[in-house]
Amino acid sequence: MIKVLIYEDNPQLREGLSMLINGTQGFEVVASYKDCTEIEGQVPVWKPDVVLMDIDMPGISGIEGLKRLRTTDTETRVLMLTVFDDNKNVFDAIRYGANGYILKKTPPAKLLEYIQEASTGGAPMTSSIATQVLGMFAHMNREQKNPDYDLSEREKQVLQLLVDGYSYKMIAAKMNIAIDTVRSHIKKIYEKLHVNSKSEAVAKAFKDKIV
């Protein structure tokens, strides 16, 4: 028996969800509430396998309720069930430990399937939400990958030579520039990388794959 705890402020939807779940073999609604202001005390009492959590509720939001629950309980499976499919709510739900994110327009049979999937360790998401999540992580990955710290091509050349072990004098000869020009480039490199020495600059170049 999969035990479900519902947080939903719309009484018609709350009742409809309860009837759907209780009317399906293998599922049981142990309790349902119109808000999650007391979620930290309610979840331990009912010990649900899955929590269905609305986001827009009076008192505190479902995201805040999830955040509070996760301070003491990281095991209970929580499915966000909402009309919101914007990036911020999706990101915050994942950030605070939601196990799935599904939209209220999900067909009843699919909703039951998602609850079952969550109860067995899955992370169900409505397809449009899953596409958003993949896009968000791809964007984050692009932002984090190989930052160049706004270095000019000339500064990158100088940094590469520092990484290769060249001295200031050797860099000047290699690039056919004055040693004072090398010092000027290196000063700007240090400022942009927020470092104070050659060793720090080289370490950062390796860590962030700048060159």
pLDDT of residue 127: 83
Q: Locate the domains of the chain by residue range.
A: 2-143, 153-207
Domain over 153-207 is classified CATH 1.10.10.10: yes
Q: What's at 125, amino acid-wise?
A: M
Per-residue pLDDT tens digits for 170-182: 999 999 999 999 9
Query: Are domains 2-143 and 153-207 of this chain identical in fold?
Result: no
Provide mean pLDDT across the span 32-52.
97
Coil, helix or strand for 158? helix
- CA 189 to the chain's CA centroid: 32
Q: Compute, in degrees rounded to 10, the torsion defined by CA atoms 112, 116, 118, 122.
A: -120
Per-residue pLDDT tens digits for 49-105: 999 999 999 999 999 999 999 999 999 999 999 888 777 888 889 889 999 999 999
CATH superfamily of this structure's domain 2-143: Response regulator (3.40.50.2300)
* Cβ atoms of residues 75 and 47 within 8 Å: no
Query: C-alpha angle with apex 57: 52 to 58, nearest 5 degrees?
Result: 140
